[in-house]
Chains A and B, each alone.
Chain A
Amino acid sequence: MKTIKSILPKALIFFLIATIVCGIIYPLLITGISQIFFKDKANGSIIEVDGKKYGSELLAQQFTDDKYMWGRIMNIDTGTFKDENGNTLMYACPSNLSPASDEYEKLVAERVEKIKAANPEKGDTPIPVDLVTCSGSGLDPDISPAAAEYQIERIAKARGISTTQVEEIVLKYTENRFLGIFGEKIVNVLKVNLALDGILK
Chain B
Amino acid sequence: MSNSILQYGLYLLILVILAIPLGKYIGKVMNGEKVFLSKILMPVENITYKVLKVNKDEEMGWKKYGLSIIIFSLIGFIFLFLLNILQGILPLNPENVDGTSWHLAFNTTSSFVSNTNWQAYSGESTLSYLTQMLGLTVQNFVSAATGIAVLFALIRGFIKVNEKGIGNFWVDMTRITLYILIPLSIIVSIILASQGVVQNLIGYEKIDLLQPITLPDGTVITSQIIPQGPAASQIAIKQIGTNGGGFFGTNSAFPFENPTILSNIIEMLSILLIPVSLCFTFGRNVKDKRQGIAIFAAMFIMLTASLGVIAVNEHIATPQLSQSESVDTSSTDKQSGGNMEGKETRFGIASSATWSAFTTAASNGSVNSTLDSNAPLSGMMEMLMIQLGEVVFGGVGCGLYGMLAFAILAVFIAGLMVGRTPEYLGKKIEPFEMKMAVLVCLSTPVAILIGSMIAAMVPSVADSLTNSGAHGFSELLYAYSSAGGNNGSAFAGFNANTPFINVSLGLIMLFVRFVPMMAALAIAGSLAGKKKVAATVGTLPTHNALFIGLLIMVVILVGALSFFPALALGPISEFLRMIGGK
A residues with a Cβ closer than 8 A to B are: 3-4, 7-15, 17-19, 21-24, 26-27, 29-31, 33-35, 37-38, 41-46, 53-56, 58-59, 61-65, 68, 72, 76, 78, 80-81, 83, 87-91, 93-105, 108-109, 112, 124, 126-130, 132-147, 149, 177-178, 181-186, 190, 193-194, 197
Contact = CB atoms under 8 A, between A and B. Distances in A.
Interface of B: 3, 6-7, 10, 48, 51-54, 64, 67-68, 71-72, 75-76, 79, 122, 125, 133-135, 137-138, 140-142, 170, 173-174, 177, 182, 185-186, 189-190, 193-202, 204-211, 213, 215, 219, 221-226, 228, 230, 232-234, 236-237, 249-250, 253-256, 259-262, 264-265, 317-323, 325-329, 332-348, 351-352, 367-370, 372-376, 466-469, 471, 491-493, 574-575, 577-578
Given A15-B79, A89-B221, A185-B334, A96 B368 contact: no
B138 A65 contact: no
Contacts of A38: 193-194
21 contacts: A7-B68, A12-B75, A15-B72, A42-B198, A42-B199, A43-B198, A76-B213, A76-B215, A99-B318, A103-B468, A126-B328, A128-B335, A129-B317, A129-B321, A130-B340, A136-B250, A138-B250, A139-B255, A140-B345, A144-B336, A184-B345
A119 to B, nearest CB: 13
Contacts of B333: 185
A145 B223 CA distance: 28
Contacts of B342: 94-96, 99, 133-136
A80 B125 contact: yes
B373 A184 contact: no
B343 A136 contact: yes
A88 B219 contact: yes
A55 B216 CA distance: 24
Nearest to A26: B233
B27 to A, nearest CB: 23
A44 to B, nearest CB: 5
Contact of A23 (B7, B138, B211, B323): B138
Contacts of B493: 96-97
B53 A30 contact: no
A95 B341 contact: yes
Contacts of B574: 98, 100
A145 to B, nearest CB: 4
A30 B193 contact: yes
Given A127-B326, A149-B334, A184 B193 contact: no
A26 B222 CA distance: 38
A59 B227 CA distance: 10
A106 to B, nearest CB: 9
B15 to A, nearest CB: 14
Nearest to B492: A96
B471 A186 contact: no
Nearest to A124: B326
